[in-house]
Structure 1
Amino acid sequence: MRFVYYLILVVLTASVFASPIYAEDSDTEMEMATMEMSGEDMEDIEGETKYVEVTRAFPNIYEELDPKSRVIRQPRRGEFLELISQGRRWYKIRTEDGEEGFLEMRAGRVVERKGIFSSWQSILGFILNIVLLSGLVVGVVIFVKKQKAAVEN
């Protein structure tokens, strides 16, 4: 029975604190991206301001639409950048400092507004984490009570 509690504890802890690990781009992928970018059509975003929420850890923001160009910044996961336009694989963004650059699409996602609850997935993820953390606390409390009861008998 103790094993089940430990297993639940490990699974819940891992699900709450887990974050995706991303491999760095290989040279071949960068070359393919460069070839694709030469024909990239960027579509301007009109209407309300939209943002790109960074979903990868420290992706590169390039000065030009070329992965061999100067990297102007590496934003943190969860940071929001203003969306100027987007192509098939790239976002043209503006940082809070006013710098414009290009970010790969796989490094972020478009959201309507900035903030922790920028989309329903963020809200659902937050609620799921709270539920899992609550379950973890309840599981630990039950485990401790059973251990105390076993020691008293």
Structure 2
Amino acid sequence: MRHAARRPGGFTLIELLVTLAVAAMLGMLVVPNLVTMVQSGKTSVLINKFPQDVAWARNLAVTSQQPVQIALSNGNCQWVATVNGGPTVAEHSMTNAATEYPGVTCSITTNAPTTGNLDFNSQGFITDGVGGPPISPTITVTTANGQQTWTMQVLSSGSVILNSNTAS
């Protein structure tokens, strides 16, 4: 009796190469979207931190009856919070945006404060620090790849409005 020749188990080299080629093509489609998603996620953390720090500054100015200042840095998404001209309050400041959020840019587009600062008075209103009327600057944040922008308006009352139509 003759035994039928059995094909050895496993993959052939051709099958392996075809599988790798298909996986590589799928990877080329997914990786750019993944990078964009990671950049957007990181930027949204920055977007959420700023309104929290503004709310903290407003609340502290009202409850302590002391001026609280957030010094904005146009272009690099950094800000420094101080109370009554004292030392920097690190937990409510963003001083390392360049390393945490590389390539993200911020610009104060309209109604920018003369001094570059948001000064909260004892009533919680924002002034420009030079005795002018209350201000309400608009800040635009753009991701490193330039594909997404967010617009935040800081109202003179100390509230921050995030324009949801701009995040894409």
Q: TM-score, normalised by structure 1?
A: 0.28
Q: TM-score, normalised by structure 2?
A: 0.27
Could you say which structure has the greater relative contact order, defined with CA pairs below 8 angstroms and 6 or more residues apart? 1
The structure carrying a bigger helix percent of its residues is 1
- Structure of larger gyration radius: 2
